Amino acid sequence: NALVGQKVAITSNRPQTTRHTVRGIVHRPDAQLVLVDTPGQHKPRTLLGERLNDVVRTTWAEVDVIGFCLPADQKIGPGDRFIAKELAGIKKTPKIAVVTKTDLVDSKALAEQLIAVDQLGKELGIA
C-alpha cells in the first residue's frame, strides 16, 4: 500500500487474510513497477490452505522477481524455513529477501536479523 501510494490490499495482524492475488502499479518518471501480493505461503492444514498455496506457486511462475518478506521484529522460524525451501526449488526466477518492519527494532536487532536472513539463504543455496 505504501509503495503504491493508496490502499490496494488488506492489512491485518491475522494470517491468511489475503485470498487472491492483488496487483498494485507504481508509476515513476523512468519506470513502471507492478507489485504482486499473494496469499501467504504456509504449511497447509486444510484444503483452503492447499488452494491458497497453489495461487502463490502459480503467481511465482508469472513474475520477474520474487520478494521473500521477513519481519525484522521476529526471529526466523520453521514457517520461514519452509517457504525458503520452497523458493530454493525455483531456479529460473531471481529471489530477494525483504526485511520489513525495520522501524520496530533497534540497529543491533536489525543487524542480527540481516545476518540470520543471509545465513538462511546460504544454507539453502539461494543467497
53 pLDDT higher than 60: yes
Residue type, 15: P
State whether the Cα torsion 101-104-109-110 is positive or negative. Answer: positive
Q: Measured over all CA atoms, what is the biggest interatomic distance in the chain, rounded to whole angstroms?
A: 45
**Domain boundaries along the sequence of the chain:** 1-63, 65-127
Chain mean pLDDT for the chain: 87
Out of 36-45, 69-78, 88-97, least confident range: 36-45
pTM score, whole prediction: 0.78
Residue with cell 543467497: 127
